[in-house]
């Protein structure tokens, strides 16, 4: 808008920070099931000792790939182009939250993808009509299974806790977005389509208390709410 253009409708999806990091770590090395040599195309210059570096060694011995600022990834994207957006801290975190609130129609959670698709179909039907049916189509499922990262393993409890501490600002942002997403779902009476979660070690990531549902103490016309979003 600073240059006279119309503000686009921004949407996005974020993922649990540790899960995202682990997928990226192993994908860079071994690719996915779309091709046996996929990793050779994506990281042709990676040395063998780096490719087979144990994830626990990388984390516990503080290799650059497994320490800040490489782990400070989600917040800078939402924070913007200000130089301070590249510095892990409260300033970048709060600016990222502000941008989510003021500039995004929807920021969903990958772990609840079906609910994200239902809301997108509700908010932007011209683009997302029948998107959930397409997503559940067996042929799409077959293609989706090919994108699973190869040779991904779970680090030790000690390594996970270290990652969690290094990514504490990322998790503050993730939980904030997750809470806003859940409030939005309840606002539109959306029944959750979350499948049974994958088993996770109890030590993985401590979650904050969830908001009680349903929230019905304040009603607002759904269409007016959407109009206000578009006017931002």
What confidence score (pLDDT) does residue 121 get? 95
Q: What percent of the chain has pLDDT over 90?
A: 59
The two tokens of residue 116 are 């994200």
Please give the distance of CA 143 from its chain centroid, rounded to a whole number: 21
The two tokens of residue 182 are 């859940």
**Domain containing residue 148: CATH number:** 3.40.50.300
Give a yes or no: residue 91 inside a domain: yes
Give a yes or no: residue 213 inside a domain: no
Query: Is the Cβ–Cβ distance between 102 and 116 less than 8 Å?
Result: no
Please say if the pLDDT value at position 224 is more than 70: no
Tens of pLDDT, residue by residue over 23-47, are 999 988 888 777 655 555 567 788 8
- DSSP lists the bridge partners of residue 68 as none
What confidence score (pLDDT) does residue 210 get? 39
Give a yes or no: residue 96 inside a domain: yes
Total domains present in the chain = 1
Please give the full DSSP string across 30-90, using - where no structure is assigned. H-BTT-TTHHHHH-TT--HHHHT--HHHHHHTT-GGGSTTTT--HHHHHH-SSGGGGS-SH
Going by C-alpha positions, the residue among 128, 106, 97 that lies closest to residue 183 is 106
Give a yes or no: residue 225 inside a domain: no
Tens of pLDDT, residue by residue over 199-216, are 343 334 444 433 334 334
Please say if the pLDDT value at position 68 is more than 70: yes
Give a yes or no: residue 156 inside a domain: yes
The position carrying tokens 């770590």 is 25
The two tokens of residue 20 are 């995202």
When pLDDT is averaged across residues 118-126 and rounded to a whole number, the result is 95
Q: Whole domain around residue 67: which residue ranges?
A: 10-188
Q: Indicate the angle between helix axes 157-166 and 17-30, nearest 10 degrees.
A: 110
Please give the distance of CA 29 from its chain centroid, rounded to a whole number: 21
The two tokens of residue 77 are 């994207």
Give a yes or no: residue 216 inside a domain: no
Please say if the pLDDT value at position 103 is more than 90: yes
φ and ψ at residue 32, rounded to 5 degrees: -135, -170
Neighbours of 63 (CB within 10 A): 14
Query: Is the Cβ–Cβ distance between 147 and 218 less than 8 Å?
Result: no
Q: Which residue has the higher pLDDT, 75 or 146?
A: 75
Sign (positive or negative) of CA dihedral 223, 226, 227, 228: positive
Give a yes or no: residue 4 inside a domain: no
The two tokens of residue 97 are 């939250």
Give a yes or no: residue 214 inside a domain: no
Please give the distance of CA 40 from its chain centroid, rounded to a whole number: 26
Please give the distance of CA 220 from its chain centroid, rounded to a whole number: 28
For residue 155, give the 3-state DSSP assignment. coil
């Amino acid at each position: 808008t600073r240059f006279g253009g119309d503000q686009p409708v921004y949407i996005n999806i974020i993922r649990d920070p540790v899960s995202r990091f682990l997928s990226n770590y192993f994908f860079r090395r071994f690719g996915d099931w779309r091709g046996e040599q996929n990793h050779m195309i994506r990281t042709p210059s990676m040395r063998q000792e780096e490719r087979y570096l144990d994830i626990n060694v990388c984390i516990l011995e503080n290799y650059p790939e497994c320490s800040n600022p490489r782990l400070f990834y989600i917040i800078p994207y939402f924070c913007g182009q200000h130089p301070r957006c590249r510095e892990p801290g409260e300033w970048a975190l709060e600016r990222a939250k502000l941008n989510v609130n003021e500039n995004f129609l929807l920021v969903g959670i990958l772990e609840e993808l079906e609910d994200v698709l239902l809301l997108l179909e509700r908010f932007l039907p011209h683009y997302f009509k029948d998107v959930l049916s397409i997503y559940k189509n067996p042929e799409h499922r077959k293609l989706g299974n090919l994108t699973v990262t190869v040779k991904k393993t779970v680090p030790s409890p000690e390594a996970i806790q270290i990652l969690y501490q290094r990514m504490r600002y990322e998790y503050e942002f993730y939980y904030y977005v997750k809470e806003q997403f859940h409030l939005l779902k309840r606002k539109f009476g959306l029944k959750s389509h979350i499948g049974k979660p994958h088993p996770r070690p109890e030590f993985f990531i401590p979650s904050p208390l969830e908001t009680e549902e349903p929230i019905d103490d304040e009603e607002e016309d759904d269409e007016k709410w959407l109009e206000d979003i578009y006017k931002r």
